[in-house]
Amino acid sequence: MNRLAGRYAPYLYILPVVVLSGVLLYFSIGFNAYASLTDWNGLTSMNFVGLQNYVDLFQDRTFWIALTNTLLFLVATVAIQAALGLLVAVLVKERMPGSAFFKAIFFLPIAMAPAIIATVFRYMLEANYGALNETLRSLGLLGETDVIQWLGSDLGLWSIVVINVFQWMGFSMMIYFAALMSIPEDIYEAATLDGAGWWRQLWSITIPSLRGTTSVLIILGIVGSLKTFDIVWLTTGGGPGVSTQFLTTFLYLERANREAGYASAIGMVILVIALVLSLVQLRLSSRRS
Write out the DSSP string of 10-33: HHHHHHHHHHHHIIIIIHHHHHHH
CA distance 195 to 26: 55
**Residue 266 burial by Cβ neighbours in a 10 Å radius (0-12, 13-18, 19+):** buried
CA distance 268 to 219: 18
Write out the DSSP string of 176-192: HHHHHTTS-HHHHHHHH
Residue 238: the pLDDT is: 87
Residue 117: the pLDDT is: 92
Per-residue pLDDT at 163 exceeds 80: yes
pLDDT band at 146 (very low <50, low <70, confident <90, very high): confident
* 24-59: pLDDT as tens digits: 788 888 889 999 999 988 888 888 998 999 999 999
Provide the residue ranges of all domains of the chain, joining segments of one domain with +: 62-288
pTM: 0.88
* 263-288: pLDDT as tens digits: 999 999 999 999 998 888 888 777 66
- C-beta separation of 29 from 23 below 8 A: no
Per-residue pLDDT at 72 exceeds 90: yes
Domain at 62-288: CATH code: 1.10.3720.10
* 107-145: pLDDT as tens digits: 888 888 888 999 999 989 988 888 888 888 888 888 777
- C-beta separation of 165 from 77 below 8 A: yes
**Nearest C-alpha neighbor of 135 from the set 150, 119, 116:** 150
CA distance 202 to 188: 10
Whole-number mean pLDDT of the chain?
86
* 185-226: pLDDT as tens digits: 888 888 888 787 878 888 888 888 888 888 889 888 998 999
Residue 13: the pLDDT is: 79
Q: 131-138 and 114-124 helices cross at what angle (nearest 10)?
A: 40
Per-residue pLDDT at 1 exceeds 60: no
